Structure 1
Amino acid sequence: MKGKTILVTGTGQGIGCALVHVLHSLGAKVIAVARRPESLAQLKAECPNIETICVDLSNWDATKAALKDVPPLDGLVNNAGVAVIKPFEEITEKDFDDNFNVNIKAVFNVTQTLSPKLKSGSSIVNLSSLAGQRSFAGHSAYSASKAAVDSLTKSLALEFGPRKIRVNAVNPTVILTKMGRDHWSDPAKANGLLSHIPLRRFGEVSEVNDAIIFLLSDKASYVNGTTMLLEGGYSAS
């Protein structure tokens, strides 16, 4: 990663914030994108050499304007996402739009805007979810948005491959971010899902970021168009 320029979206918390710290420690030139200025200010204080861009990715035109002066890139991580989880009958139009505007529409817009900036040999990593390939109660809109991310990943792998740009996705199950711990700390809720995971545990943020770093790196130079499951064997059960 040393000397590579990597743009990461959704860096205000969780996986994206931790990824910036890892990339910074490895000597990458990181451009961190988030919608809350206070989060970016804290991240900048912790990683002084990074650049920051504050924009709400659900705003199509504002996103294009905010990213227009980004320098040439070696990597792009489309990490920003939202999860509105409700029973199907309770999902409103706003809930549906919130899932799709960030989880897929923003990925499309950011990647399209930055496409001319991507160097030959660069890598795009999209943050998807196991929910994009498996069904879970209450996840109908969220799962549909992540299935769209998986489909877009494969389409872009075909279109960008001749430019020597690789496009892959990572598809985690529950990851123990602060939000993940808050939502899955109740054994009564967690045990049902854990019983389908052969490793009998949820994933750690570091394990997701290890996969992202691998896909960004030259060690994954022949990995293209994949959706990498990070789910402890759930799909094998």
Structure 2
Amino acid sequence: MTLRTAIVTGGSKGIGFSISKKFLQAGWRVLSCARTASDELKSLQAENPSIKFHTMDVQKRDDHTKAIEEALTWSGSFNTYINCAGFSQWKKLEDYDDLFLNRIFDTNIKGVIWGCQAAAVHLSNEGTIINISSLAGKRGSAQNGAYCASKFAVNGITQSLAKELGPKNIRVNAVCPVYVKTPSVLEALEDDISPAQGKNVDCYLEEFTHQQTALKRLPTGEEVGSTCVFLASSEASAITGQCINVDCGVLPQ
């Protein structure tokens, strides 16, 4: 039986790495894509021939097609495309400039569009696209307008493409996590204009967890990965066009 293959952009670290591991554990082959390979990914690849690193920049349209071609050459199959690569930074409106906006929009919006476009050409019947969005794609927050705009866009892209690609039996969904304790999130929260506002980051997250979550904890990258594995499986064959919160009950819907 031909193994199923997942392509994960931003798959070298953080949530993307957790997603890559979860697909690997579920018996998939995984092409984990990023600009550079993390030490964790290199170690995992050395232990398991079913995961492979591929260099790409999601802002470059052709890189998405090259990733798919690499997956097909390597494993002979391609079944799901996961747009996980992203960029976030809190910034006051008065401090926006072209460099900042271009980096957010080229990564978070164009990067997702190029991934969906390339995947739609190559995915066969029952293929899936999963876009990693954010709870910030459903509600705004201070000093976060550009990032929120980009993730609102991801949710709109997801819903629109579910309708457009549905006749080809290609399902498109998004996953919307709240804070996941990755190194990049913890570093970003150190900024004085982040919601932590200069507080100790651990104390801020503890307070947020107590006040905002229903389950009194934050989700893990592994839980985001498990949601993606489910959405890519036949068990989710009737689910498309959904933007699913993985937020421990911060925003019940």
Identical pairs, percent: 32
1:69 CA displacement: 4.9
TM-score by length of 2: 0.84
Report the Cα distance in structure 2 between the residues aligned to 1:84 and 1:180, rounded to whole angstroms.
Answer: 9
8 Å Cα contact 2:119/2:129 also seen in 1 = no
Name the structure 1 match of 2:232. 216
Is the alpha carbon distance of 1:69 and 1:179 closer, same or farther for their aligned partners in structure 2, counting shifts above 3 Å? closer
8 Å Cα contact 1:67/1:114 also seen in 2 = yes
8 Å Cα contact 2:81/2:115 also seen in 1 = no
1:236 CA displacement: 3.7
1:6 CA displacement: 1.1
Report the Cα distance in structure 2 between the residues aligned to 1:217 and 1:150, rounded to whole angstroms.
Answer: 21
Report the Cα distance in structure 2 between the residues aligned to 1:236 and 1:38, rounded to whole angstroms.
Answer: 35
1:99-114 matches, cutoff 5 A: 99-114=104-119
Encode CA deviations 1:49-95: one digit per residue, 9 max, x unaligned.
Answer: 22332011123344445544542421111111111211222222211
Q: What SS does the corresponding residue of 1:103 show, helix, strand or coil?
A: helix
Q: What SS does the corresponding residue of 1:201 show, helix, strand or coil?
A: coil
8 Å Cα contact 2:22/2:226 also seen in 1 = no
Does the alignment pair 1:161 with 2:166?
Answer: yes
Q: What SS does the corresponding residue of 1:30 show, helix, strand or coil?
A: strand
Name the structure 1 match of 2:10. 10
Report the Cα distance in structure 2 between the residues aligned to 1:12 and 1:111, rounded to whole angstroms.
Answer: 20
1:99 CA displacement: 0.9
Higher relative contact order (CA 8 A, sep 6+): 2
1:117 CA displacement: 1.3
Encode CA deviations 1:181-210: one digit per residue, 9 max, x unaligned.
Answer: 453733146524641222222211111111
Q: What SS does the corresponding residue of 2:126 show, helix, strand or coil?
A: strand
Structure 2 spans left out of the alignment, 5+ residues: 190-195
Report the Cα distance in structure 2 between the residues aligned to 1:80 and 1:159, rounded to whole angstroms.
Answer: 23
Name the structure 2 match of 1:96. 101
1:176 CA displacement: 1.9
1:26 CA displacement: 2.2
Name the structure 2 match of 1:120. 125
TM-score by length of 1: 0.90
Name the structure 2 match of 1:195. 211
Report the Cα distance in structure 1 between the residues aligned to 2:204 and 2:114, rounded to whole angstroms.
Answer: 39
Q: Which moved more, 1:81-90 or 1:119-128?
A: 81-90
Name the structure 2 match of 1:59. 60
1:168 CA displacement: 0.3
1:43 CA displacement: 4.4
Report the Cα distance in structure 2 between the residues aligned to 1:88 and 1:215, rounded to whole angstroms.
Answer: 36
Report the Cα distance in structure 2 between the residues aligned to 1:162 and 1:126, rounded to whole angstroms.
Answer: 19
